[in-house]
Amino acid sequence: MLIIPAIDLKNGKVVRLRQGDFLQEKVYSDDALGIARKWASQGASFIHIVDLDGAASGVPANLDLAGEIAREISIPVEVGGGIRTEKAIKDVLDQGIKRVVLGTRACQDPEFAERIIAKFKDKIIVSIDSRGGKIQTNGWTKTALQVEFRTAYPSSPASLAKTLKEFGAETIICTDISKDGMLTGPDVGAIERFLEETKIKIIVSGGIASLEDISKLKRLEPKGVEGVIIGKDLYEDKVDLSEAIKISE
């Protein structure tokens, strides 16, 4: 099971939001590259970067910085936030970034999602961000719209995950926004039910607060938990990255 440190960028700084709320922001560093190097030196094998400005505006805003990180560290990087066109996807990949995280457009436009997954394959991963069982888009400010496609395009996280699997997605990111930045622990029961219903591999994001949370999710690895994204718990020294990696192995 992968342990994936998150670096959330806003105005070029490393920040964390509380429950996805842009008004509840805490700045941890103005040296994102230094933070990336720190996580790499502690054993991370992958880094997850979120362009928060891009997520809010719909256009990548911290791509140069994300690209610099990808080129300067020795481990692969994935980037999401405001990437809503094929050109934007290509621009991200041209920076040497390993994988593009799609959210809003993939959750609202099935034809786009199907075409992009087929074309870019493992260079794309879709993130389903939800709050209270409803998919959130546009920087977590809106609930995903239903779009006519065969039947109505799925608006629940599980039904959307099954549709993405039908399109060829093997793994998705699942973020529980209500848990994000709260350090209250993930809803392990809900994650297990989601895995049983969808039969798709997932990377869990949101709410990790302790090494015990990592251990609980590790036990779900046979059912499909492929990785865990950790953020605030690292920045608040609630979890030691090297210890979390040991537990995950």
CATH at 193: 3.20.20.70
pLDDT band at 146 (very low <50, low <70, confident <90, very high): very low
Residue 141: CA atoms inside 13 Å, Cβ hemisphere, count? 10
Query: Is-contact 66 78, C-beta < 8 A?
Result: no
Active-site residue (options: 53, 129, 176, 213): 129
- Would you say residue 128 has pLDDT above 60? yes
User: What does the block give as tokens for 171?
Assistant: 């793994």
Burial of 159 (0-12, 13-18, 19+ CB in 10 A): middle
Encoded tokens for 220: 């779900």
Annotation marks residue 51 as catalytic: no
Distance CA 180, CA 19 (A): 5
pLDDT at site 66: 97
Count of H-run helices and E-run strands, the chain: 11, 14
Residue 94 is a catalytic residue: no
Whether the pTM exceeds 0.85: the reply is: yes
CA distance 129 to 1: 21
Domain hosting 22: range is 2-248
**Contact call for residues 129 and 140 (beta carbons, < 8 A):** yes
pLDDT of residue 13: 96
**Of all residues in the chain, what percent carry a pLDDT higher than 70?**
88
Task: Give the model confidence (pLDDT) of 155-206 as tens digits.
Answer: 689 999 999 999 999 999 998 876 555 567 888 999 999 999 999 999 999 8
Number of domains in the chain: 1
